Amino acid sequence: MGKWLFCFFVLQLGFSQETLLPFRQGTQWGLCNEQAQLVHPAVYDSIDPIDYGQFFKCYKNGQEGVMYQRKTIILPKPNVTFHAMEAVFIVERNPAIAPNNYTGVYNLKGEKIIDQVFFDLQIVPKKRLTDPIVGVIHGPSDKAGVFVYNEKTGKLTTWLFKDKNEYFSVTFSAADRDIHIYRYHNQSEQSSYYKAVYQSKTKKYALRLDPKAKAAAQNEPSIEVTEDTDRFDGRSFYEVKNNYAIRRISFATKKGRTTMIQFDGRYHKGLAHVDSLVIDIPNATLQIHSFKQADGFVLSAHGTDPVNEMDKEKVDTIFTYFNYITYKKDNLLGLIVDKKIWEPQFDSIRYFRAESSLKPYFLVSKKNAAGLTRWGVIAPDHQVVLPCEYDEIVVNTAGGYGTLWAIKQEGRYGIANNRGLILKRPQYDRVFPKDLFYAMHIVQNNQYGWYSHDNMFYEPKFPYPIYFEMPFNKKTFLILVDAQGTFKGYAHPNGTLYFKD
């Protein structure tokens, strides 16, 4: 908790400063304030914001540098990349030196204060705001260990464990800032356990052997991972499972002049009850579909279910769907799923999923009185999600499970969700989905807007589609792209554009 509180304080310090954003002027990039006024000239090929709201990566001729606030603190260099570390340091990667590790640490003046290879850097939480910054370096190097950093001078003042060929792991206590160090030489079994105790008066660490740390390390709990090997064959229809019982439903079919479907349900975990249900559909053509074949895996949805016929208490239950049945009679299609029957009334039935719980939905069509095809959506629990009265319903049949759908009625487009709520009535020139249907692009008079699954709505007033909402410096900005997906620049939700073509 202390570590996160410290991070929060650091972020608050950063966020109290002005908000700066990359600004595109033609093909060159600079920095601007929230009112779109340039504060750094557009001289770079590209600028990307990185962590904590005041850091930016700047690019020139394929080389990368770092900007902090309004200044370039590290000029673009070849073959390196940079990242901000808790609004305190800039860490460097150079794949030519160490492909999988960091290769240096810079202060906020752009000075390289640590020139070595390491794989992790941690900041020890401060107990008092006046305490110096303490960092822990992990990794093979000739200077590995714990250091103390002076924020005013930007220099390191103390190093612990400078010896070569030392390997160690470090944990620290947020309450007292004590650092517990497990140290071993040349990866041998001869190990030492230290406790570095921070002294507030001297602002230094006192080091001593710590037998408690050794005992704690030897008693670390282990985690065993097991794989669920339970498998079902193609004859399984669905399974209902809760803390009291497992009920598996399988089916058998008989063909002849009369088509019959028989469901046999068996309870487990001490309940011997057996269900049997026979559905008689005369002169129908039957087809069995597997959810696993259609979507790559079976579907499981949470809900409530009575434990048994005698106990009507409803408990949290997982419904797992394996197969569904479509049947055709008099040129119309019906549906059987979860032992619930939709009578033949549809011209087409297509399965899709539309929520993270993987509950199946079905896109259906039928003709109205004028003979025109109209579309709707139904669910396995015999629920009409959207009635068959829309010219078009755009859902994700390609494997995603976003909760938003585009609907078309009388030539205009709107937005609905998987609960059947009309979020935006059909009134726009066009609505089309983004990615996995978690958001919708809205077009009106060649201007673009946005509606997301968390009900965030932006009126159509932007020249390009909104690709993403970008939380930045405790505010929200928008990333705009063109129809080909090319990044065009940033925008404020109020319509302010941070670019000029």
| pLDDT tens digit sequence for 370-382 | 999 999 999 877 8
What is the spatial distance between Cα 377 and Cα 388, in angstroms, rounded to a whole number? 7
Confidence at residue 435, expressed as pLDDT on a 0 to 100 scale: 75
pLDDT at 168 over 80: no
pLDDT at 231 over 60: no
Residues facing 93 on adjacent strands: 81
Number of neighbouring beta carbons within 10 Å of residue 235: 14
pLDDT at 384 over 70: yes
Confidence at residue 436, expressed as pLDDT on a 0 to 100 scale: 75
Confidence at residue 274, expressed as pLDDT on a 0 to 100 scale: 55
Confidence of residue 229 (pLDDT cuts 50, 70, 90): very low
Both structure tokens of 161: 């464990």
Taking alpha carbons only, the member of 412, 405, 414, 409 closest to residue 388 is 409
Q: Which residue has the tokens 């119309």?
A: 332
Global confidence as pTM: 0.71
Confidence at residue 399, expressed as pLDDT on a 0 to 100 scale: 61
pLDDT at 12 over 60: no
pLDDT at 207 over 90: no
* pLDDT cut 90: percent of the chain above it: 39
Backbone phi, then psi, for 216, in 5-degree steps? -65, -40
Confidence at residue 225, expressed as pLDDT on a 0 to 100 scale: 26
Pair 409, 394: CB distance under 8 Å: no
The CA-atom distances, in angstroms, between 229 and each of 226, 232, 266 are 9, 10, 20
Q: Any idea which of 254-258, 325-329, 472-476 has the lowest mean pLDDT?
A: 254-258
Both structure tokens of 491: 């925008």
Averaged pLDDT, 302-309: 57
Confidence of residue 80 (pLDDT cuts 50, 70, 90): very high
pLDDT at 343 over 80: yes
What is the spatial distance between Cα 409 and Cα 389, in angstroms, rounded to a whole number? 8
Residue 125: DSSP 8-state: P
Both structure tokens of 53: 């709201």
500's enclosing H/E stretch is: strand 499-500
Confidence of residue 260 (pLDDT cuts 50, 70, 90): low
Confidence at residue 227, expressed as pLDDT on a 0 to 100 scale: 29
294's enclosing H/E stretch is: helix 291-295
Confidence of residue 116 (pLDDT cuts 50, 70, 90): confident
Pair 183, 137: CB distance under 8 Å: no
| Highest-pLDDT range among 235-249, 272-286, 305-319, 399-413 | 399-413
Rounded to the nearest integer, the mean pLDDT of the chain is 78
Confidence at residue 295, expressed as pLDDT on a 0 to 100 scale: 63
Beta-sheet strands, E only, within 339-391: 340-346, 348-353, 360-367, 373-379, 383-390
Q: Any idea which of 185-194, 312-321, 435-444 has the lowest mean pLDDT?
A: 185-194
Confidence at residue 450, expressed as pLDDT on a 0 to 100 scale: 95
Q: Any idea which of 5-9, 421-425, 492-496 has the lowest mean pLDDT?
A: 5-9
Q: Any idea which of 58-72, 355-369, 413-427 has the lowest mean pLDDT?
A: 355-369
Confidence at residue 261, expressed as pLDDT on a 0 to 100 scale: 65
The residue that leads in pLDDT, 117 or 111, is 111
Q: Any idea which of 151-155, 180-184, 331-335 has the lowest mean pLDDT?
A: 180-184
pLDDT at 115 over 70: yes
Q: What SS3 state is found at 307?
A: coil
Confidence of residue 306 (pLDDT cuts 50, 70, 90): low
Confidence of residue 149 (pLDDT cuts 50, 70, 90): confident
Confidence of residue 212 (pLDDT cuts 50, 70, 90): low
Residue type, 239: E
The residue that leads in pLDDT, 64 or 299, is 64
Q: Any idea which of 41-55, 273-287, 334-348 has the lowest mean pLDDT?
A: 273-287
Using DSSP bridges, classify how beta strands 166-172 and 155-160 pair: parallel, antiparallel or unpaired.
unpaired
Averaged pLDDT, 474-483: 92
Per the document, the length of the chain is 501
| Highest-pLDDT range among 187-196, 287-296, 457-466 | 457-466
Q: Any idea which of 222-236, 350-364, 411-425 has the lowest mean pLDDT?
A: 222-236
The residue that leads in pLDDT, 231 or 186, is 186
Confidence of residue 317 (pLDDT cuts 50, 70, 90): confident
Q: Say if residue 346 is exposed, middle or buried (CB neighbours under 10 Å; 0-12, 13-18, 19+).
A: buried
What is the spatial distance between Cα 289 and Cα 305, in angstroms, rounded to a whole number? 25
Taking alpha carbons only, the member of 90, 82, 55, 83 closest to residue 69 is 55
Pair 134, 14: CB distance under 8 Å: no
Rg (CA), the chain: 31
The CA-atom distances, in angstroms, between 409 and each of 222, 384, 426, 430 are 58, 18, 6, 11
Pair 252, 226: CB distance under 8 Å: no
Q: Is 137 left (phi over 0), alpha (psi -120 to 50) or beta?
A: beta
Residue 436: DSSP 8-state: T
Confidence at residue 138, expressed as pLDDT on a 0 to 100 scale: 76
Confidence at residue 25, expressed as pLDDT on a 0 to 100 scale: 97
